Amino acid sequence: MRIDTLSTFPGMYDSVMGESMMKRAQEKGLLEFCAHDLRDWTHDRHRTTDDDPYGGGNGLVMRCAPIFEAFDDIVGPRSGDDGTEVLFLSPCGEPFTDRVADRLAAKRRLVFVCGHYEGIDERAYSLADTVLSLGDYVLTSGELASMVVIDAVVRKLPGVLGAQNGAETESFVDGLLEYPQYTRPSTYRSMEVPPVLLSGDHQAVDRWRRQQSIERTWRLRPDLLTDEVVRSFDEHDVSFLQSLQSLTAEA
């Protein structure tokens, strides 16, 4: 996969893309990343990418001209489904979810256009295939939001994660939150690891983890237990969920 970012502050990506999983993905040839500086497509002495908003108001708005010109050079003309997805980050966008990450991970190329200041001239959004929001809050820059999306997508690329089944057992993949994790020592400050995890009984461990996942989702994110998710449960899952519901009703 190739990922390009169009940004006023491309240096913000250096630490994220040069460490850990992102670094390994690039070293393995699984990811090609390039952060482009929108100032390279300005034509004034001060390399200005922002200006005062028409109609007045506080803050500065990113100019659309550098974005369009950078897009012309980096992406070029498009026709049909070329395997490229152009993304803008905005609180006005659709919520970013694990399912969206799955869809993006199947693309050949992602291009992120990152806002700053008070936002982006609305005309630039005509370039977007998708506008994403991380949540109901505002960040200083689109660079920060894009890093979250990039991380969530890249970890889904085949061969990126060290553990073969790592991505398949994480939260949200099957609609549930992930079960609790423990490692050595088995006892620390009087807090003990659940005995089942030390039993060597893999079937019992799998059953415990599944129930913990369901219980944690029921307790913390009941909104995730949609009809679609519950329909995927086997009879043991359904029975366990019903027991949780009964306990809640009695409380």
The angle at the Cα of 142, spanning 141 to 148, to the nearest 5 degrees, equals 115
Q: State the residue for tokens 């809050």.
A: 137
Both tokens of 165, joined, read: 């089944």
CA distances from residue 113 to 1, 8, 12, 37 in whole angstroms, order as listed: 17, 10, 14, 11
State the Cα–Cα distance between residues 86 and 75, nearest whole angstrom: 9
Neighbouring CB atoms inside 10 A of 133's CB total 15
Annotated binding residue at 115?
A: yes
Annotated binding residue at 247?
A: no
> Dihedral sign, CA of 11, 13, 15, 17?
negative
Annotated binding residue at 119?
A: no
Annotated binding residue at 59?
A: no
Annotated binding residue at 134?
A: yes
State the Cα–Cα distance between residues 3 and 16, nearest whole angstrom: 14
Residues with Cβ within 8 Å of residue 146, at least 6 apart in sequence = 5, 7, 87, 89, 112, 114
- What residues form the annotated binding site for S-adenosyl-L-methionine? 115, 134-139
- What residues form the annotated binding site? 115, 134-139
